[in-house]
Amino acid sequence: MWDFSTDAAFQARLDWADAFVHDEVEPLDVLFPGNADPYDRTSRVYTEGVRPLQQRVRDQGLWAAHLPPELGGMGMGQLQLALLNEILGRSGWAPMVFGTQAPDSGNAEILAHYGTEEQRKEYLRPLLDGHIVSTFAMTEPTGGADPGGFTCRAVRDGDDWVIDGEKWFASNYPHAAFVIAMVITDPDVPVHQGSSMFIIPAGTPGMEMVRATGLAGEPLGEGAHAYLRFTGCRVPAVNLLGEPGTGFAIAQTRLGGGRLHHAMRTVGQCRRALEMMAERIAGRRTRGRPLADQQAVRHALADSWIQLEQFRLQVLHAAWHADNAARTGAKEDARAARLHISAVKAATPTILVDIAYRAMHLHGALGVSNELPLIRMWQAGPVLGVADGPTEAHKDVVARLLLKDVEPPDDRLFGSAHLPARLAAAREKYADLVRSEEATTR
């Protein structure tokens, strides 16, 4: 059956999370707005401010909700996660406080699925406990997000793998205890068969940060993202995740969920912008009249609400498909989930740019100032357009999956919907009725 309601017990937990984020977490966004601040485990902000908040989340049973109970999480499905992430998306600090911050959440999933017992003990447990943070290094300066263009390679040498090459935009590297890197181990086969994943501890000789890179607006040479270079970097063979050649498949394990979670949190960002827009319209006057009297202003609010509701339902539907695929294990359900996740990923940057822009515009100069968070929301749209694969790649996935089972029409010139041909077929199918009707009208 179709149902758009939320279980009462789970809604109570969502209500707690909503009030907690508003009252306790969002003030951290105002006090410490830096993109890297939540990841510095040595800061007093983290040890004295965030750790107690994390404990309160644990006490509510909402810590690391994306992971199964045996790993210290709640084992929530994607649909419940979507409802929770709508709330967490309002705050830059909230994912850290709830143990779902990227890239640690995705790295935890990789370690849970593919890590050995020793790897989980050394890297996964402290990651889940919030004692360390990590980095995921996939993108390269020349290949971008296209694995087919990757040149960073690892060669087996006795009990080690030796890595040479570069990685780009490796998030949170300055604070990371370890890096999970996807590199080419067999250049003579396609990338989905010739790449592998390695765990590289911080401080490993041969792994260096060429420079830190930030987002637009951050000072040049600073930022939470690293340009990495590997030069004869030796990694023990026991640090390989899974089997050699499975790196591409492992990457998809984390990227699919990450794409969906970005969309979930974007709902929260857009709702916050929408609330600010409505507040502005209700409280302002221009040319002697309330701003709410302006039809164009009301239409901007209506367009934003309609767009957000459509996107939210699309995200929840994609989450349902992901849960269904996990439950059945069927290939056709996995394909449907992939279709819907890619569609959501492609839609995410546009919705955030559109709604944040309308909210900024209605706030005038204040909207584009550093006294409101709107311009940072707006800037996040293009970031989401390239994170976890560019929008164009996901549109291509959607189109390819839609075309997979489509057969060309018999009439390749005019197609199956050509009205003259359909009319002839309909007349033949209902020949007796047509003759009777024609006789009646004579």
Query: What ranges do the domains of the chain cover?
Result: 8-115, 134-241, 248-403, 415-442
H/E element holding 162?
strand 160-171
Q: How far, in Å, are 418, 420, 422, 424 from residue 427 at the CA level? A: 14, 11, 9, 5
Residue type for position 347 = A
Q: Identify the CA nearest to 178 among candidates 253, 256, 125, 142.
A: 125
Segment 394-405, tens digit of pLDDT? 999 999 999 998
| Rounded Cα gap, residues 402 and 339, in angstroms | 8
DSSP for 312-373?
A: HHHHHHHHHHHHHHHHH--HHHHHHHHHHHHHHHHHHHHHHHHHHHHHHHHTGGGGGSTTSS
Which residue has tokens 């077929």? 425
Encoded amino acid at 218, one letter: E
Q: By the 8 A CB rule, do 25 and 97 touch?
A: yes
Alpha carbon 186 to its chain's center: 29
Record the tokens describing residue 103, joined without a space.
Answer: 């890239």
Cα distances (angstroms) measured from residue 388 to each of 1, 268, 383, 393: 34, 19, 10, 10
Q: Can you give the pLDDT at residue 142?
A: 86
| The listed CATH number (1.10.357.10, 3.50.50.60, 3.20.20.70, 1.10.540.10) that belongs to domain 8-115 | 1.10.540.10
Integer Cα distance of 282 and 99 in angstroms: 37
Q: What whole-number distance in Å separates Cα of residue 167 and Cα of residue 180? A: 11
List of residues 6+ apart from 27 with CB closer than 8 A:
none
- DSSP codes joined into one string, 210-256: EEEE--TTSPTT-SSEEEEEEEEEEEEGGGEESSTT-HHHHHHHHHH
pTM of the full structure: 0.89
C-alpha–C-alpha distance, residues 203 and 135, integer Å: 13
DSSP states along 274-323: HHHHHHHHHH-EETTEEGGG-HHHHHHHHHHHHHHHHHHHHHHHHHHHHH
- With beta carbons less than 8 A apart as the criterion, state whether 185 and 163 touch: no
- Please provide the DSSP assignment of 9-76 as one string: HHHHHHHHHHHHIIIIIHHHHHH---SSGGG-TTSHIIIIIIHHHHHHHHHTT-TTTTS-GGGTS---
> What is the fold of 134-241?
Butyryl-CoA Dehydrogenase, subunit A; domain 2 (2.40.110)
Q: Do residues 337 and 325 make contact, with C-beta atoms less than 8 angstroms apart?
A: yes
Helices 419-429 and 431-441 meet at what angle, rounded to 10? 90
Distance CA(140)–CA(152), nearest Å, equals 8
Rg value, the chain, Cα: 26
Fold exhibited by the domain 248-403: Butyryl-CoA Dehydrogenase, subunit A; domain 3 (1.20.140)
Are β-strands 160-171 and 225-236 bridged in parallel, bridged antiparallel, or unpaired?
A: antiparallel
Residue spans of the chain under pLDDT 70: 1, 35, 72
Beta bridge partners of 144: 140
Rounded Cα distance between 157 and 168, Å, is 25
Cα 147 → chain centroid: 19
Q: Which helix (H) or strand (E) holds 209?
A: strand 207-213
Neighbours of 210 (CB within 10 A): 13
- Give the separation between CA 346 and CA 332, rounded to whole angstroms: 21
Exposure b/e, 122-132, CB count within 10 A at least 16 = b? bbbeebbebeb
Contact 146, 155 (CB under 8 A): no
